[in-house]
Structures are given as structure tokens and as C-alpha cells.
Amino acid sequence: MEELAAEKHVRYILSVEKKKDSFESVVMEHLRMNGAYWGLTALDILGKLDTVDVDEVVSWIISCQHDSGGFGGNVEHDPHILYTLSAVQVLALFNKLDVIDVDKLTSYIVSLQNEDGSFSGDIWGEVDTRFSYIAICCLSILRRLDRINVEKAVKYIISCKNMDGGFGCTPGGESHAGQIFCCVGALAITGSLDLIDKDLLGWWLCERQVKSGGLNGRPEKKPDVCYSWWVLSSLIMIDRVHWISKEKLIKFILDCQDVENGGISDRPDDAVDVFHTYFGVAGLSLLEYPGLKPIDPAYALPVDVVNQIFFSKTSTN
């Protein structure tokens, strides 16, 4: 049985951090803040976050905060809620949330809530349940959830529930595992999981497991390692994870490793990238693979980091 080549994945992640001019780095240029979250959270789950220069990362993150309080995907990039969560998650990893202007960040997110309770991603107004999750997750980490209308936010999310028990990006949108993770995660954080039909949604989610043991994002699609996060974390949050085969999923993820050069791809024999390396390691953590730190399915952060945020004196209370 293939096992996790942990050391190789650590070296791969650190090498991507170093290579600035590689194709991957250039393509991901505008997503660099998300890339920092994927690489650093994977390193923490693998127990190697201490190999990183904290001050170098933190000063780069601070340089990406916009006057509005939001964060861009890189220095001088326009602020967007997508990158704002990644910035807050990385600072939480290092227990450095006190280095940013939390009040300005809070008012930026509050300004993105619409009349109907939904959230826009930035000033241009695109609405997506992904942004509801990001706003709720971010403000919860900052202990500022009371600054938005949580009741209307929850009502909007429920308005995106479909007959199949799943959720789409807007009311009537097709059920997709990524959107389901966002809606279930937001409901979990706000203590509203009782509004979900867990058997109906659990059935839709466990049907994502295909013969190879991998999970896909929608019926008839090919399996993909990143759905080991979107589907699995949702199943865990609604307490139906025993409806899939954990062993077969572990085998699928391990088969997607490049055991020579490190990294994990979306499916066997494809090119590896930091995104799928993170979601593969995070998926194995949810599957309680030995030697990995446990990760919280709703906050997508290591459990010890979530405990530090909510149960210690030093967080931004």
C-alpha cells in the first residue's frame, strides 16, 4: 500500500515558495494570497510550519492590505473577499492577527452584505454563496460575527437549497460540491445546521464516491483530489462520513502523489500543484491519516489554531 511521502511534499511546497518565475508562480500570480494559504496550511498539517520565515510572510501579507481594509491576491492588486479570508487564515496560523487593522477589515466585509442578506465578492457586486461563507468564516475568526446580519445571511443561504438537498451559488443554481461546502460551513459556524436535511444531502454527497474510491464534484464527473475536501468536510459537518469508504478514498489520494519529486495532483498521473497538494493533505487529515495534525472541517484550519482563536486570551476579542 502506497504511503504518504510527507518529506517530499514539504520540500515541494518550500520549492514552489522559492521559485518566483516558474509557470506555476506566474499563472498563480493573482492568486498568490490563496497560494500562501494552501502552502502554509499544508506545511502546518505536516508539522513543518516552523521551517518558514514568519516575519517575511507576515510583512508581505500586510503589504497586500488595501486602504478599504480588504486584501488583494498580491501587492497592488484590487481587494476581493476571496483573498481577504486567505490573509486572515494565514495570520491565524502564525497567531499574528493583531498586526492588521481588524476594524477596517471588519467594515470592509460588513460593506459587502446586501439587502437580501447575501454577500458580494468586491465593489463590482458579483453575488455567490462562496462569499457568504468567506464573510462568516472571516468575521468568526476575528470575533466580529455580530457586525453583520447573521439571521438574513442564513436565510439567504437556505434560499439557495435545492430539491436534491444540495446548494448552488445563487437561488436556483445547480448543486455543486464546492458550493455545498461553503453553505454547510457557513451554517455550521452560525450554529444553523438544524436547517439542513442531513439524510437527503448526505445521500447526494456519498454518491460522489466513484469506483476508484475518489470523489467527484457533481454526478457523472471525474474524481478529483480537491473534492476530498469539498465533499468530505461537508459529510463530516453533517455527521454522515460513515456513508463513504474512507479506506478507498485514502488509497485514491495516495495514488495521486508524485513520490519522486513531491506534490499531489487532481487525479493519478496528472501534473502536481500546490492547490491539490494542500487539499490532498487536508483530506487525509480529515480521514485521520497517521502523523498528520487534525484540521477543522468548517474553518479549514488546524484544530490547534482554531482552539487558539476561540479559547485563548491573546486573540482579537
Ligand X SMILES: CN(C(=O)[C@H](Cc1cnc[nH]1)NC(=O)OCc1ccccc1)[C@@H](Cc1ccccc1)C(=O)N[C@@H](Cc1c[nH]c2ccccc12)C(=O)NO
State the residues that interact with ligand X by CB under 6 A. Answer: 31, 34, 82, 85, 130, 133-134, 178-179, 182, 224, 226, 266, 273, 275
C-alpha to C-alpha distance for 157 and 133, rounded to whole angstroms: 9
Verify binding: residue 87, Zn ion, rule CB under 5 A: no
Q: Least distance to ligand X from the beta carbon of 23, Å?
A: 12
Verify binding: residue 226, Zn ion, rule CB under 5 A: yes
Verify binding: residue 224, Zn ion, rule CB under 5 A: yes
Percentages (nearest 5) of helix, strand, coil residues in the chain: 55, 5, 40
Verify binding: residue 273, Zn ion, rule CB under 5 A: no
Q: Least distance to Zn ion from the beta carbon of 262, Å?
A: 18
**Which of Zn ion, ligand X, none does 234 bind, CB closer than 5 to 8 A by kind?**
none
**Which of Zn ion, ligand X, none does 182 bind, CB closer than 5 to 8 A by kind?**
ligand X
Residue number of the CB closest to Zn ion reads: 226
Q: Least distance to Zn ion from the beta carbon of 276, Å?
A: 6
**Which of Zn ion, ligand X, none does 133 bind, CB closer than 5 to 8 A by kind?**
ligand X
**Which of ligand X, Zn ion, none does 231 bind, CB closer than 5 to 8 A by kind?**
none
Verify binding: residue 232, Zn ion, rule CB under 5 A: no
Closer CB to ligand X, 120 or 313, in the complex: 120
**Which of ligand X, Zn ion, none does 34 bind, CB closer than 5 to 8 A by kind?**
ligand X
C-alpha to C-alpha distance for 115 and 119, rounded to whole angstroms: 9
Closer CB to ligand X, 29 or 312, in the complex: 29
Cβ atoms < 10 Å from Cβ of 313: 5
C-alpha to C-alpha distance for 317 and 309, rounded to whole angstroms: 9
Verify binding: residue 44, Zn ion, rule CB under 5 A: no
C-alpha to C-alpha distance for 215 and 183, rounded to whole angstroms: 19
C-alpha to C-alpha distance for 230 and 247, rounded to whole angstroms: 18
Cell of 230: 469539498
C-alpha to C-alpha distance for 260 and 270, rounded to whole angstroms: 14
Q: Least distance to Zn ion from the beta carbon of 152, Å?
A: 32
Cell of 89: 487564515
Residue 184 identity = V
E strands, the chain, in order? 264-265, 272-273, 295-296, 301-302
Q: Least distance to ligand X from the beta carbon of 97, Å?
A: 18
Query: 298: closest CA among 182, 214, 202, 206?
Result: 182
Q: Least distance to Zn ion from the beta carbon of 197, Å?
A: 27
Cell of 291: 502523523
Query: 83: closest CA among 61, 103, 104?
Result: 61
Please report, as ranges, the residues that interact with Zn ion according to CB under 5 A: 224, 226, 266
